[in-house]
Each structure stands twice: as structure tokens, then as C-alpha cells.
Amino acid sequence: MKQNIYARCTGDKNRMCLLCNSHYLVKNPIETNTFCPDCFTESRKHELTRVKHHLHRAEKAGNDATLTINQWLKILDYFKWKCAYCPNGQFEVLEHIVPILSGGGTTSINCIPACLSCNRRKDSKLLIDKLSKYKIEQVKQQLIDIAL
């Protein structure tokens, strides 16, 4: 499933909002599709850039790349825009529970908000020791629940 997030280069100015699917017009035909004026916020635009970046990374690695901006914003809301692993950590990075290098995809059941310190622990493969396996399983289950 390919998201309609890239400019369509047809010279037309019609776009369909990625969040509410309503049609809107852009001033310049080369503008990429984002959100209608009702849905647009700087932080959503920022998250869209983040999602695109990680879709690209997963695609390049040949992994699943299906996370939509809708799903990602739902996941962020669910975790209150905080780290999904630790109670006081701020959301600083999009974390792949199974890293892209290990075959993990940029998908709604593999991506969570995390603080840098949890993310680094993951990179150094110490995450499983420091954050219990139970916590990771719990987060995985939460992601499945959000997707329903």
C-alpha cells in the first residue's frame, strides 16, 4: 500500500487531505500533499516528515513500509506523545521495536514514540535487559489494540 504523500506532478492543484480525505487546493502545483487547512498543524506536518523518512528507510532495506500518518498520530495520542517504554521519558524519536536492520518494518505494529535514552539502549542491544521483556510485549499488545 503506497501512501499518497508525494507530489503528483500533473500540474494540478487538487489535493486530498491525508487525515480527513477532504479535497483542498494548494497554491503551487509542485507542493506535496499534506493536510487540508482544517487539519493542518506544524506538529502534524513535522510528524509527516518523520513518517516519510522512516518509510523510506524501511523501503530501502526491503522491509514493510505501510505506516500511515493517521496511524502514527493515533499511536502518539495513545502514548500521550511520551516515551512508550518509560513513564517520564519525552517523545524524542520514532522507535522501531524490531529494528530495521533486523528486518523490522515501518508499520503500525512496530513503531512507537520513545525517548533518546530508551532508543540508545535499544541500539546497544541492552534494551531487553534494562526494560523487561514484559514491557516490550505489553507495548506490542498496545499497538495491536490501537490498530483495531
Q: Which of 69, 118, 127, 136 binds Zn ion (CB under 5 A)?
A: 118
- Rounded to whole angstroms, how far apart are CA atoms 79 and 83? 7
Is 89 a binding residue for Zn ion by CB under 5 A? The answer is: yes
Is 93 near Zn ion (CB under 5 A)?
no
> Please, what is the minimum distance in Å from the beta carbon of residue 61 to Zn ion?
24
Helix (H, G, I), strand (E, B) or coil at 47: helix
**Which CB sits closer to Zn ion, 39 or 61?**
39
Report the residue closest to Zn ion, judged by CB. 89
85 contacts Zn ion (rule: CB under 5 A): yes
Residue 26 is a binding residue for Zn ion (CB under 5 A): no
Long-range contacts of 13-20 (CB under 8 A, 24+ apart): 18/48, 18/68, 18/69, 18/70, 19/44, 19/69, 19/70, 19/73
Work out the burial of residue 28: count CB atoms within 10 Å of its CB; fewer than 13 is exposed, 13-18 middle, 19 or more buried: exposed
Instruction: Using CB under 5 A, pick the residue from 65, 69, 73, 83 that binds Zn ion.
Output: 83
Q: Which residues bind Zn ion (CB under 5 A)?
A: 17, 19-20, 36, 39, 83, 85-86, 89, 115, 118
